[in-house]
Amino acid sequence: MSKTNEYLQRFMNGVIKRNPGELEFHQAVSEVAGTIFPYIADKPIYHKMQILERMAEPDRVVMFRVPWTDDKGNIRNQRGYRVQFNNSIGPYKGGLRFHPSVNLSVLKFLGFEQTFKNSLTGLPMGGGKGGSDFNPKGKSDNEVMRFCQSFMIELRRHIGEDTDVPAGDIGVGGREIGFLFGQYKRLENRFVGVLTGKGMEFGGSKIRTEATGYGTVYFMDNMLTRAGNGFDGKTVCISGSGNVATYAVEKVNHLGGKVVTLSDSSGFVHDPEGITAEKLEYLIDLKQVRRGRIKEYADEYNSASFHEGRPWRVSCEIALPCATQNEINEGEAKTLLKNGCIGVSEGANMPTELAGIDVFQKAGILYAPSKAANAGGVAVSGLEMSQNSARIAWKEAELEKLLKDTMQTIHDSCVEYGERKGRIDYLAGANIAGFVKVADAMLSFGHT
């Protein structure tokens, strides 16, 4: 075994031992470490100062009880979390996820990833993530409000506009951010940019809602353009039908591609004629207003059919996973390749299992890892923070340009750090470019 592999193995053994059973967290750290150890092989200072070891340990984890009362008067109990992962380059920043699958492993993987992603944006933001195992599905608006208010009663002690600035993620959209912000403001008697993804009436930023989906498509477009190709006429499979998936469809349509699938946790719809702007309006009403199931899309449009499972068996040239973690396994990655897929840009966080990534990397297709591809959302969150601090609001066109430029800059950083014998390894590029800034800040701080 080479020295580098030996160090890597020893490092991962330590991570697994210190974080027993946290499989998603092990997976996220292992994906990063596999590219960082070769990079630091000839840079002993990072070893001596134990930088990656320290980066794989959250600054702190807060866990708390969230009691709330449902519409029938029953007292319910949920667990709330905030993982403050790393604030070396700015205040902790990252979303809140409300989903029954939320546990410490999931939030630690997300907080760890967020640290690298936020560094890639070039903005001064550290990494954090939080949330709860609360399931907003099927709950009334009043139940969601009572839950959010109870959650904020504890969370407010740990956050602040210069300390930690949460935002949305799965199960946390505009409605939840409104309830959370209203409660923070009331408890603290301060109107500050303590959350992002806010409504436009109370300090939200233009383009924030669209930013993650748009950014994921821009990243794919940047890779295609560099390879002498483009979106025009391409068939695209997208998973999910929430915030990220919706605006990914919109941007693919703008660029001349055709989206043929969308999904939710019950299955996927296949529409070979493409999800046009008009159909997307129907989808937005279905998912965001009526909070219905994706199957209804297939009931509405004759061109579409509903299927159980995930959409990756449908032929496409471009795949944009935009639902959740580990939604493309090794077999599905092989099926995508067999059916002609040439590019994957990850809108969701860690949607591809390690074995699936290996399939894409070995085939040499354009593969953009989530920490680069979906950084547009948090980048515009960073711009929302700036606007709130300065008490100003930028125009939509300015923000759209800033988002587009940021995605190009992230792409170019990945190229700079990921060039390997003429081929671009976007995975290594994203990890190393994200690592360097945080690591060098930590070196400056000494033993902290």
Q: If binding is defined by CB under 6 A, does position 384 make contact with ligand NDP?
A: no
Chain-centre distance of CA 198, in angstroms?
Answer: 18
Binding partner selected for residue 196 from ligand NDP, ligand 2IT, none, CB under the kind-specific 5 to 8 Å limit = ligand 2IT
Binding partner selected for residue 131 from ligand NDP, ligand 2IT, none, CB under the kind-specific 5 to 8 Å limit = none
CB count in 10 Å sphere of residue 100: 13
Give the C-alpha separation, 187 to 167, whole Å. Answer: 18
Binding partner selected for residue 388 from ligand 2IT, ligand NDP, none, CB under the kind-specific 5 to 8 Å limit = none
Give the C-alpha separation, 323 to 358, whole Å. Answer: 20
Give the residue with the Cβ less far from ligand NDP, 251 or 442: 251
Whether 167 contacts 177, CB under 8 Å: yes
Q: If binding is defined by CB under 6 A, does position 323 make contact with ligand NDP?
A: yes
* DSSP-derived secondary structure letter, 202: G
Count, residues near ligand 2IT per rule CB under 6 A = 12
Contact stretch for ligand 2IT (CB under 6 A) within 93-101, 217-225, 275-283, 328-336: 93-101
Amino acid at position 301, single letter = Y
Contact stretch for ligand 2IT (CB under 6 A) within 90-98, 230-238, 279-287, 358-366: 90-98
Select from 127, 131, 171, 193 the one that contacts ligand NDP (CB under 6 A): 171
Q: If binding is defined by CB under 6 A, does position 225 make contact with ligand NDP?
A: no
Contact stretch for ligand 2IT (CB under 6 A) within 89-97, 180-188, 216-224, 401-409: 89-97
Q: If binding is defined by CB under 6 A, does position 93 make contact with ligand 2IT?
A: yes
SS3 state at 164: strand
Q: What's the residue count for the chain?
A: 448
Q: In 74-203, which residue ranges form alpha helices assigned H by DSSP? A: 104-120, 141-155, 174-188
- From residue 364 to residue 403, what is the string marking binding to ligand 2IT with x (rule CB under 6 A)? -------------xx--x----------------------
Select from 178, 242, 382, 434 the one that contacts ligand NDP (CB under 6 A): 242
Query: Smallest gap, in angstroms, from Cβ of residue 376 to ligand 2IT?
Result: 9
Strand partners, 238: 320
* DSSP-derived secondary structure letter, 258: E
Q: If binding is defined by CB under 6 A, does position 352 make contact with ligand NDP?
A: no
Q: Name the strand (E) or helix (H) holding 108.
A: helix 104-120
Q: Is the dihedral of CA 46, 351, 194, 119 positive or negative?
A: positive
Q: If binding is defined by CB under 6 A, does position 244 make contact with ligand NDP?
A: yes
Q: If binding is defined by CB under 6 A, does position 251 make contact with ligand 2IT?
A: no
Give the residue with the Cβ less far from ligand NDP, 155 or 248: 248
Q: If binding is defined by CB under 6 A, does position 113 make contact with ligand NDP?
A: no
Query: Smallest gap, in angstroms, from Cβ of residue 349 to ligand NDP?
Result: 4
Give the residue with the Cβ less far from ligand NDP, 11 or 139: 139
Give the C-alpha separation, 119 to 375, whole Å. Answer: 10
Give the C-alpha separation, 431 to 415, whole Å. Answer: 12
DSSP string of 272-335? TT---HHHHHHHHIIIIIS---THHHHHH-TT-EEESS-GGGS--SEEE--S-TT-B-HHHHHH
Count, residues near ligand NDP per rule CB under 6 A = 24
The phi, psi pair for 343, rounded to 5°, reads -155, 140
The answer for residues whose C-beta is within 8 angstroms of residue 439's C-beta and 6 or more apart is 46, 51, 52, 55
- Least Cα distance to 263 among 332, 365, 340 occurs for 332
Q: If binding is defined by CB under 6 A, does position 28 make contact with ligand NDP?
A: no
Contact stretch for ligand NDP (CB under 6 A) within 68-76, 243-251, 272-280, 402-410: 243-251
Q: Which residues are catalytic?
A: 129
Binding partner selected for residue 171 from ligand NDP, ligand 2IT, none, CB under the kind-specific 5 to 8 Å limit = ligand NDP
Of 149-188, which residues contact ligand 2IT (CB under 6 A)?
A: 167, 169
Q: If binding is defined by CB under 6 A, does position 119 make contact with ligand 2IT?
A: no
Binding site for ligand NDP (CB under 6 A): 101, 168-171, 173, 212, 240-245, 264-266, 322-324, 347-349, 374, 377
